[in-house]
Amino acid sequence: MNQVWQGRLEKIDDYRWKIPRSYKPGMKVPGLILASDSLIPSIINDKAVDQVANVAFLPGIVRYSLAMPDIHWGYGFSIGGVAATDPSEGGVISPGGVGYDINCGVRLLRSELLLDEVKPKLEKLVNALFSNIPCGVGSSGDIRVSHKEEEEIFIKGAGWAVKKGYGVKEDLECTEDNGAIKGADPGGVSDRAFERGRKQSGTLGSGNHFLEVQIVDEIYDDKKADIFGLFKGQITVMIHSGSRGFGYQVCDDYVKSMVTALRKYNINVPDRQLACVPLDSPEGKAYMGGMRCAANYAWNNRQCLTYLIREVFERIFNKSWTDLGLALVYDVAHNIAKMERHVVDGKERFLCVHRKGATRAFPPHHVDIPEKYIEAGQPVIIPGDMGSFSYILAGTEAAMTETFGSTCHGAGRNLSRSAAIKRCEGRQIDKELFNKSGIIVRASGRSTLAEEAPEAYKDVKEVVEVVHRAGISTKVARMRPLGVIKG
């Protein structure tokens, strides 16, 4: 799959690289990749750059086909791809611009705990989390729902979990879209998707999904860190999961039908994985309704996971989660398409913003961020690999003007899963991480650890530095892993 890209990148400045429209006849806009000089060699050694150019063929695309510095090969869009389409100009929706794990996302919990309090109980805590949190391929949990309740989850998202006692209203206030995007339509969800989602609320999943106990080891912006409730030496918990088998099935159902719809709407794209339909078409409206159901399912899933994590902390530290200060900092999606208002060439336009492995990064005083973060901007959560740092940043006005309010979503893969497994053959990654850094790792399968080994990923520090120096999100704090749960 990987090959050196044969096109030409025009360097705009230290962190921006342009793919000119002349690269491929049919590109409606240029491509724009955010990256440093040192990241570019690995990026052009991946066909993902060609995917950025291919996305520029989408009808109604506005300004640029964008890619973040964590760019790597994906289905249709590259991972790290961002594109906005205008429905008033024939703009389309493409499931390849959202991904199979709809609303795969991250949430960060803070606490009042310090390392000295946690270290003596760390192994017990990690083991209890591993025992209490269902993880692995096809895992199911104890939160089972009826068909009617499942429909309610699709519409209310994390609000369903809070109603059931699995959280508090403050959790919703600190979740993107308050934990439920409007316009979800359960009528567009197949029976197979219903069945797959019935037993997976409150489950972590497999692959790159994780739960991580961390310590805040660096503060870059004291004022914003204080607004986010973060301080040096603090224990935090990060959750990375999505819509599980339900979201996968929703995507799979619609991808198949959209390929046949290309001819109906006379749409020509250079890759069938970019199958798309007009946003205002019956097929487009149906996909958006189903995709929103999956997005809401994912927010509910992460809220249920939060409840299970709080239960474990209460048991291990013999205090209520409120006394432990185990509150939600923020929850943000990074595989989603959303209708948003953006100013383009001085004019406000209502656009469909595809974020595929990219995080929303709205600025201070934006109407869609919590009131308590209004001076700091939206919290942006960027996980690393299980052996490196994770970061929290803040959204900026520059992101609104340059990237449709978007930034990176993580380190980004440097090796395919098969290549990582081959490189790690015979190694015990969990023991390596413990011996090198004291990180306690628990996983349901050794192949997962090989797939997710630290060398399989780009340097998250460098990825974050690019978006920070490019100004599309600014560093606030850094977290170091202490214990990791993998599927």
The runs of H, that is alpha helices, within 375-485 are: 397-402, 417-423, 429-437, 446-451, 460-470
Instruction: Tell the residue number behind the tokens 């590259």, with chain if given.
Output: 78
Q: How many helices (H) and strands (E) does the chain have?
A: 16, 19
Decide: helix, strand or coil at residue 164. Answer: coil
Position 368, amino acid: D
CA distances to 43, 114, 118, 310, 330 from 110, rounded to whole Å, are 34, 11, 14, 11, 10
- Please list the residues that pair with 79 across neighbouring strands: 72
Q: What does residue 230 show for φ and ψ, rounded to 5 degrees?
A: -110, 145
The four Cα atoms 233, 235, 240, 241 give a dihedral, to 10 degrees, of -170
Q: Judge contact between 450 and 420, C-beta under 8 A.
A: yes
Q: How far apart are CA 375 and CA 227, in angstroms?
A: 8
Note if 409 is an active site residue. Answer: yes
- Please list the residues that pair with 374 across neighbouring strands: none
Among candidate residues 72, 209, 240, 409, the one labeled active-site is 409
- Catalytically active residues, by annotation: 409
